[in-house]
Amino acid sequence: MPADTAQALTTGGADGRPRHVAIIMDGNGRWATERGWPRLVGHRRGAERVKQIVRACPDLGVNWLTVYAFSTENWKRSTEEVLGLMKIFRRYIEREAEELSAEGVRLRFIGGRHRLDPKLQALMAAIEARTAGNTRLNLTVAINYGGRDELARAAARLAEKVARGEVSDPGEQDLERCLDTAGHPDPDLVIRTSGETRTSNFLPWQAAYAEYEFTPTLWPDFTPDHMASILDRFGLRERRYGGV
């Protein structure tokens, strides 16, 4: 792989720390069940944990944070849990909009919005517009997101461009421009909590050269200190991108 291509794959800094971290926030339901509480209690506690991690990121040297909030497969869960999750998303946006904006956080969403409630879609669009000029931290929330679904939608967009004559010889960069994450740097590090070691259809294109860290800690228990330790270990890894 050419050196310039390898450099484009990472946002990691000279200090060896990742600049873009993606997190599969797993274990909310299990955390609550272990305590004899309804699963939604775990999801609410998980939302509180998101706020703590977001606030810690700039001090940890993280400029981009992408979190997996709701997958395309999560619709298979009970109606009660799905509706409860959507309510938590709405409350998070409504309550955090002003504070995120004041703290310099730019919030964006990836995933298929068409299946979401129109009121939630409107809230999402409003906070994206409100925080568009912020640069201290780029926060991306994946909601109704699936990597295969994203790639299928991107391929369809690219096919339309080819049909219109906008692209004549489509390649990787053309497809990348059609992804939900167009313009975002690829993640340097993907963290999954709760002890599971699956990637679960999360950023398959973008994380092709990312490092992975699987921690047994359930998401509601995942503190900024846990994250700091993982970031320190990341600095010990050697990333060659196919080189020697």
Catalytic residue list: 26, 74
- 26 is an annotated ligand-binding site residue: yes
232 labelled binding-site residue: no
**DSSP codes of every residue in 28-70:** HHHHHHHTT--HHHHHHHHHHHHHHHHHHTGGGT--EEEEEEE
Q: Is 77 annotated as a binding-site member? A: yes
User: Which residue, chain included where needed, has tokens 């993640």?
Assistant: 187
Residue 91 in marked binding region: no
Binding site annotation covers 133?
no
Q: Is 90 annotated as a binding residue?
A: no
The answer on whether 211 is annotated among ligand-binding residues is yes
Closest CA to 217 of 234, 235, 198, 192: 192
157 is in an annotated binding site: no
CA distance 222 to 218: 6
**Nearest to residue 181, comparing CAs of 200, 158, 154?**
154
Neighbours of 80 (CB within 10 A): 11
131 is in an annotated binding site: no
Token duo for residue 115: 């299946």
Q: Which residues are annotated as a binding site?
A: 26-31, 39, 43, 71-73, 75, 77, 192, 198-200, 211
Q: Which residues are annotated as a binding site for Mg(2+)?
A: 26, 211
